[in-house]
Structure 1
Amino acid sequence: MSQRTVGIFLFNEVEVLDFAGPFEVFSLTTLPQTDEKPFNVKTISENGKAISARNRLVVTPDFSFANHPSLDILIIPGGFGAEEIEIHNSKAINWMKEQGSKVEIVTSVCTGALLLAKAGLLDGRKATTHWMDVDRLEREFPSVMVQRNVKFVDEGSIITSGGISAGINMSFHLISRLHGKEVAEQTAKRMEYEIVL
């Protein structure tokens, strides 16, 4: 089995559960027949230095834009830092655009969708975000087909999810897609999380 490398983008004022939820899901996933871990989860910030997430949780990432390994799955979380800071950071937007052409699957949680839209990765695609921000996504990025009242939208190589805890639902969906329903359900049971696949 070849392990997929999952990269999670971290930045100042990122919403904690946006990145910690998917981090937990992918890190805990184990294949029942072999006990192998199908995902190698790494965190990445622009310069590799510690970031201050929402409510002052300090997190030290594994890598920077310059030195991270090749990724298979990219997760872009949201929060105030996404919608008000990183959306104006051309270096971060360009990095996402570049990764979008390299990785197998790009995902977003909450207002991370605004960053993917800014990078042009959602043009002509269906997408969703936090319910408080769907109007902004639709207004600022008219080429995106905004979906309301859904936990996530799977467009093949790009998956967007709604607010905060919806990133956990999206992560289980992706595990089910890649490794089967049984693996997703087993991981959810371990986390005592109720999923509907």
Structure 2
Amino acid sequence: MNVGILLFNEVEVLDFAGPFEVFSICSNADQQKLFNVFTISEQTEICARNGLMVHSHYHLDTAPQIDLLVIPGGLGAETVEMYNEPLRQWLLQRHAQAQLTFSICTGAFILAEAGLLNGLKATTHWMDIPRLKQEYPQIEVLSDVKYIDEGQIITAAGISSGINASLYIVAKLHGVDIAKQTAKRMEYDSEFI
């Protein structure tokens, strides 16, 4: 399964690095990797939060098929990328082809602005819950949850919640035992089911 993680300037580091780690190390009993994980961005190199420089695997127009599309958050998501029209068109196309679209933290604003959360329940970072409620009344915004599964779209709350939701997705796709094995390998103590 191809996991494509979107990157952009001012992306929150743990929002993308947490899911990257979960899906990258996930394997079955025969130690075969279950996910092919890669990053995608408009520019080859992006500057994540706090100055971390990251070089993407692919550009938007060169990325292979994406089965699980990951949209992290961060300051860039809620100030620039949610209004980025070429990114919106790319997102709508890739979402239509993907099995799952998964946002973390303020990545929910990118999905909301594209209309993908209309009529659904969703969550985001606790500091941004009031804004999401106010600007997108067509979304049922929930607080005090780590993640919400609405079928083809899963939204996670802030930052480290992306790890919880990633482990949940592993359990959903490959079973609880593999998800627990992945969490143990990461020494991540979490109730994700």
TM-score interval w.r.t. the shorter chain?
A: over 0.9
1:45 aligned onto 2:41: yes
TM-score (norm 2): 0.98
Q: Is the CA contact 1:110–1:162 (under 8 Å) kept in the aligned structure 2?
A: yes
Deviations, residues 87-121 of structure 1 (Å, cap 9, x unaligned): 12111112111111110000000000000011111
1:13 aligned onto 2:10: yes
Name structure 1 gaps, 5 residues minimum: none
Structure 1 stretches of 4+ moved >6 Å: none
Q: 1:30 aligns with which of 27, 30, 34?
A: 27
* 1:31 aligned partner, one-letter code: N
Superposition map of 1:8-157 within 5 A: 8-32=5-29, 34-47=30-43, 49-157=44-152
Structure 2 counterpart of 1:179: 174
- 1:164 offset after TM fit, Å? 0.2
State the distance in 2 between where 1:147 and 1:98 align: 27
State the distance in 2 between where 1:112 and 1:52 align: 17
State the distance in 2 between where 1:163 and 1:113 align: 10
Q: Is the CA contact 1:97–1:120 (under 8 Å) kept in the aligned structure 2?
A: no
* 1:25 aligned partner, one-letter code: V
* 1:36 aligned partner, one-letter code: Q
Q: Give RMSD over aligned pairs.
A: 0.7
Name structure 2 gaps, 5 residues minimum: none
Q: Is the CA contact 1:111–1:133 (under 8 Å) kept in the aligned structure 2?
A: yes
Q: 1:165 aligns with which of 160, 179, 183?
A: 160
Q: Is the CA contact 1:185–1:195 (under 8 Å) kept in the aligned structure 2?
A: no
- 1:67 offset after TM fit, Å? 0.5
Q: Is the CA contact 2:83–2:113 (under 8 Å) kept in the aligned structure 1?
A: no
- 1:151 offset after TM fit, Å? 0.2
* 1:37 aligned partner, one-letter code: K
Deviations, residues 143-173 of structure 1 (Å, cap 9, x unaligned): 1111111000001110000000000000000
State the distance in 2 between where 1:87 and 1:42 align: 21
Q: Is the CA contact 2:100–2:153 (under 8 Å) kept in the aligned structure 1?
A: yes
Between the two proteins, the alignment pairs up a number of residues equal to 192
TM-score (norm 1): 0.96
